[in-house]
Each structure stands twice: as C-alpha cells, then as structure tokens.
Amino acid sequence: MASDIVKTLWDFLGNRNWMLWALLLGVATGLIFGERVAFLQPIGTGFVKLMQITIFPYIVVSLIVGLGKFNPEQVRSILVKAATVMVLLWVLGLAAIWCFAFTLPQHDAGTFFSPALVSPAGSIDFVEQYIPDNPFASLAEGNVPAIVIFCIALGMSLIANKRKGQVLDFLEVVGQGLTVISKKVIAIFPIGIFAMTASTAGTLSVEQLHNLQVYWVLVLCLGLYLMLVLMPMLVAAATPVKYRDLIYVMRNAWITAFSTGNVFIVLPVITEGIKAHLRKIGRADEQADHIAEVLVPIAYTFPSLGKLTTLMFVMFAAWLTGNPVSFSDIPNVTLSAMLSYFANVHIAIPFMLDTLRIPADSYQLYLSMSVLSAKVVSPTTVVYIFAFVLLSIFYCRKQLHFKRLRAAYYVILPSALLPAFMLASFTFNTQLAASSKAANEVIANMVVSDKVPAHVLNHVPKAYQSGELSLTNIDVIKRRNLLRIGYVVDNVPFSYFNQKNELVGFDISLAHKLASDLDVEVEFIPFKKYQLSEYLNKGYFDIAMSGLEINVADLTKVRFSHKVLELQLAILAKDYELARFKSVEQIRNSGNLNIAHMEYAPLLKQVSQRTSSIQFKQLSTLQDYFKSPEKFDGLVISAEAGFAWSMFYPEYGVVVPEGGMQKYPVGFAVAKRNLDLLSYLDAWLAIQQTNGSINNAYNYWILGQGTQSKETRWSVLDDVIESGEKK
C-alpha cells in the first residue's frame, strides 16, 4: 500500500509537474535565504537565452511553411476569421480592464514634480516597427513585428508558386529540428525556473512591494480573472475543448512564462501543445496544424490581452498622481492604447504616460515592478494565445457552437464572477490605501542632513536694523562666526517648516552646506518677496536664498548670483478647473479670470496688457491663496513648487499650458555693494554644480528621490540568526 502511494507520488512529480515543483521550491528557497541566493540569477538568465536560440528561426519557418501550404481562398478566409476572433477578445478584455480600473479607492493624491510635465508628448514610429526595409537587420535586432510581416508576405507569395514544394519540405524539416531542440531544452528547463524564481523571491525589495502594492493587487485580480475565468471559459463554451483539459495543456507554457516573465521563449511549446491536444481529442488535421503554426506568432505580435493588462499601470499612475482617468476619457485612452500597444510595451507605456501628462518618472515605478507584473502579464498572454488560436481553428472549421448547456454555464459564470473579482480588488486596495503614508506626510517629514548649528528667527532683530551690517564680506562673516540667511516662510519646497517645526527645503539645505564650508553657524531671518531689496541693502541678512526669481526688475536693486536652477512656470488650481488652463488658447477663451501670484509681477504685467480679460493679484504669501481659494481661479507658480503644494492640498493640481508658459532662473541675492560676497557665491555654486551637491539636493527636495526610508530585505534565515543572537 505504502509503495503504491510512493509510486503514485513519484509518477505525479516525475511525469507531469517538474516545472511546478521547481517553481515552488524556488519561491521557498528565496524566502528562506533571501539575498544570499542572488547568485542564481545568471543561471536563470542563461537558461532563458538557451530557450531563445530557436525562437526567431521557428517564427520564420512556421509562418512561411504554414502560409505556403494554403491556397489563396483558405488564407483569406482564415485571416478574416482570425481577425474577428482577435477583435472579440480585445473587446471583452478591454471591457474587463476598464471595469477593474474603476475599482481604485479614494486616494490622498499628490506627487513630487517630474520633468515629464513640460516634455512634449512622445510619438511611436509605427513604420520603423512594422515595415521590414531590411529583414536581416530586423532579425539581428529582434524586431518581431517586422519579422512577422516579412514572413507573412513571403509565405503568401509562395501560395500560388508551383515549385514551392521543395522549399517548404526543406523548411518543414528545419522546423521539426527546431521543435526537437525546444523539447530537449524544456526537459531541463526546471533548473532554470528554480534559479530565476529563487533569485527573484530572494532579492525583491520591500520598497518595491510597499510602493506599488495597490497596482500589484489590481493587476493580479485582473490577470486571474482573464486567465482562469474569461478566456478559458469562453473556449470551453464555444469549442469541444474542456476547461480542465485546457488548463492541463497550458500548464508547462504557463509555468515557464510565469517563472521567466517571457512569452517569446514558449511559442514553440504553445504551438506543439495545441497540435498535440487536437490529436488527443480527435480534431487534428493538416489544416488545423497549419493554422496553429501561422496564428501563434501572429498572436504574439499583435496586442494581446496580457500586454493590455499593463494598461492598468497607466490607470494606477494617473490615480497615484491625483489625476485619475475619468469615464469620459475611455474612448480616447482606449484608441491610444490599441495603437501604441502594437509596439513594444516599453514604448507603449511611456507614450501613454505622456499622452495623459503623467510624470515620466512613473515609468521608473513600472520598471521597478516589472519583475512582479511580468508574473501576471506573461501567463495571461499565454492563455490569450491558446484561446485565440483554438477559437480561430474551430471557427475556420465551422465547429463553434453555443447551443449546449455547458456553453450557457460558461457564458453566465464569467459575468457572475466579474463583480466578485472587482469587489476583492476594491476591498484589498481600500485597506492598502488607508494604511499607506499620505503624500503630505512624506514631504512634511523631509529633513536637512549634515546640518550646522542654526538659529531660526521669526523676525528681524533690532540689532540688525541700524544699518551697520549692510556691508558684508566673507572675512566679516567668518569673524562673527555667523552666516545670516534670509528666507521666505512657507515657500515649499525651497523653505518651509516640517512636522517637527524644523526649517527645511532645497535652499535651506544649501544654506547649511554653505555655512559648513565657511565653518560658521547659520541664522535664518524671514522676509517677504517685496521686502527683498530693502532688507538686503539695509543689512538685515547677508544672503537671500528661497527660490528667488532672477528678474530684470530687481537687477537694479540687488545683485544675483549665477542661476542655481531653472524652473518652469505653471498654474495651480482645483482639479476640476485644470481643463481651463491646458493651453494658452483655452485660457484666452475662458472669459474673465482672476489669477493670484506671489512674484513674476513684471512678466505678468505684460500678459495682462495683451489680454485684458485676465487680472493678476499679488499676494504676500502663498498661504494666502489656500486660505481664500474662492477669490481666485488659479495661482501662477513654478511647476516644481506647485507639485509640492499639491501634496499638502490634494484637491489641487498643476498644469503647464501649452503654447506660452516659459522657464525662468532662480538663484541667491546679496546687497548691491557686497561684490566680494557675490564673487564667493558664484565660485561656490560652480563647485557645488560640479561635485553634484546641487543635483543631489534637487533630486531630494524637488523630485522626491530618497524620501522613503529603505527597509532591510526579510528572509527566514535572517530571522533565525537574529533569534539566536538574542538568546
């Protein structure tokens, strides 16, 4: 009895599920040993490359042979019916994708500035992607769409050729050899699956999971619905292929795609799996084999439902940055997605982000999550190819039918399960969004590193008002052991108070760096923008540093340093008002507008003279705008500062109107006669630009890089070691 159980278990492990067990063992190994198994990653990569050696030749051979053996009438009928099936799957899949897109919960949105806000929308060169002007170059570069187009053209040109037999027979023999190689590699591929899975599970960072957990839940629920419900049940409803048999046939290709995140390497496995199963159920013939050989690479080339699931990331990024895609955006976004996804996903996603004016840095989030998301995208693509090819084969043979009771069952069940999957997605993500750190907490907890002793004042001391300190130079500053910096209150992200009531910001961090290099303490004294020239020239402080615009009007009153940054003018307004400011033309056609600002008076005066319907009002502080937003239609501000303020006030957004908003320089200011100090500042800024200090400050305070604390990667072995050390 016991020996029979052991034999049955051994047969189960040995004959059917080596890939599955390699996958499970890899996950367990990664969780136990953590980053210690990172060395396995090159082994997994080697196995992937081993699988790839037959793929391009296989695509060439299968398409040319498959098409070449048809007659013209068959090809026309097959391609039309296959296109019908593909469009049907796209429609059903996109409907499911949009249903899941609207399960995103309420979110305290807000994000740091990204240069994508001002970059022009990208474009996709479809000619380069799909017109094989040099087929050999396309093969060398791995341009799959161009290769497929070339092979389709060559295969169809052989259909009417009476001498095609010898060429097709030769290519068919080559294809059989490639199939044998693929099967041999698949036999040892569990080793590669174990290596890749272990290294991925062991090195995946906590930050990656934490930052994108909402997206991961969203795409996981969507992928499971498409893989296990919609597509296989549609096949089971319309064809003689049973649901359980389909899952069994797909398992090796599915597990390989899940482990590697690569569909390309399993195309031969998919083709052979379909042909083998048709033989098993007595539905195989030469035509069915040819259809499978032709449609598998075509299905891979055209947008698959697996590839389209990455559209969820675009929805997630829009939601994360506080500009979720609305119901009215569905037609435009869908059309853009279908066009762009004919290209590579890594071309399509940046294009979609640019189209929706989502910061391009969001693409870096996608790349950081691609290891995980590929675990859903690739298996979903495998299921899609199986479903597409099987439905097309039976459609071409006029064997589709929906009259059976089983068909009704498999049509009704996906409709009933869709709300359940959507509810699961919404429930999990609502909890995750509630437990995640709000955007305003991130920016409000930022700190200045490497600080020197500082005194932060809320007024100008009387001792400074006598005018005796109006002439300042480096020697004076070093003798008094104190650098006095003027700052603007609540000028996020350049100078503001964090939750610990510490004065922080881009300029504040540079002020500490300057004081450190001078080996003196630093004192911060507040001022308002209109007081700049008066306070500097009377000697209330030595240097003004607070995102100061270098403008022509102030050049005659104070001395400016070389530019520290170049900022982009923008408009901040309530989210629902942003559409009015998308372009200069729309602004001019919006009627009377009352726009607030804290600086830029010379520039805005010129705008007001050209457009009388726009009135500008100067404020003392930016907080005045948020205290009485009903008085204004918007606020002119730098895009960099506007995004930071939107993190404190998520109901506001930032837009750079197309066709008119310009950039401007910002820097430090000193009194007119303090030329020695100005000379030192310019030289010091040149050094900081060269050694990367200003760039580092920009990345932290403006772009928000490094604002999240890094957590140590967890593993079971680390827990055991830590427990042993405590004992």
- CATH code: domain of residue 404: 1.10.3860.10
Q: Is residue 530, in this structure, part of any structural domain at all?
A: yes
Instruction: Give the C-alpha separation, 275 to 393, whole Å.
Output: 11
Q: Is residue 678, in this structure, part of any structural domain at all?
A: yes
In what helix (H) or strand (E) does residue 571 lie, and over which residues does it extend? strand 565-574
- 548 and 585 both lie in a single domain: no
Q: Is residue 105, in this structure, part of any structural domain at all?
A: no
Answer yes or no: are the C-beta atoms of 538 and 588 closer than 8 Å.
no
What would you measure as the largest C-alpha separation in the chain, in angstroms?
A: 104
- 658 and 671 both lie in a single domain: no
- 212 and 350 both lie in a single domain: yes
- 283 and 298 both lie in a single domain: yes
- 56 and 151 both lie in a single domain: yes
Residue among 509, 555, 551, 548 at smallest CA distance from 528: 548
- 199 and 155 both lie in a single domain: yes
Question: 436, 468, 500 — which closes off a domain?
Answer: 436
Q: Is residue 147, in this structure, part of any structural domain at all?
A: yes
Overall domain count for the chain? 3
| H helical segments located in 16-40 | 18-33
Q: Is residue 604, in this structure, part of any structural domain at all?
A: yes
Q: Is residue 11, in this structure, part of any structural domain at all?
A: no
pLDDT given for residue 198 in this prediction = 81
Global pTM value: 0.61
- 177 and 215 both lie in a single domain: yes
pLDDT given for residue 344 in this prediction = 61
CATH number, position 526: 3.40.190.10
Q: Is residue 717, in this structure, part of any structural domain at all?
A: no
Instruction: Give the C-alpha separation, 150 to 139, whole Å.
Output: 10
Burial of 403 (0-12, 13-18, 19+ CB in 10 A): exposed
Question: 436, 464, 498 — which closes off a domain?
Answer: 436
pLDDT given for residue 510 in this prediction = 94
Exposure of 401 in the CB half-sphere (CA atoms within 13 A):
9
Contacts 24+ apart (CB under 8 A), 530-534: 530/618, 530/620, 532/486, 532/557, 532/558, 532/669, 533/557, 533/558
pLDDT given for residue 708 in this prediction = 56
Question: 414, 436, 458 — which closes off a domain?
Answer: 436
pLDDT given for residue 2 in this prediction = 44
- 540 and 631 both lie in a single domain: no
Along the chain (727 residues), what's the average pLDDT of each consecutive run of 10 residues? Answer: 47 56 80 81 79 76 77 78 92 91 71 57 60 78 75 83 84 84 78 79 61 79 92 91 90 84 83 90 85 85 83 82 73 74 67 68 61 82 94 89 77 90 88 62 61 79 77 88 92 87 91 94 91 91 92 89 92 82 80 86 75 83 86 90 82 79 89 92 95 91 70 62 61
- 268 and 352 both lie in a single domain: yes
- 525 and 595 both lie in a single domain: no
- 528 and 466 both lie in a single domain: yes
Q: Is residue 648, in this structure, part of any structural domain at all?
A: yes
Burial of 174 (0-12, 13-18, 19+ CB in 10 A): middle
DSSP 346-363: HHHHHHHHHHTT--TTHH
Q: Which domain holds residue 625?
A: 568-665
Instruction: Give the C-alpha separation, 550 to 540, whole Å.
Output: 20
- 315 and 403 both lie in a single domain: yes
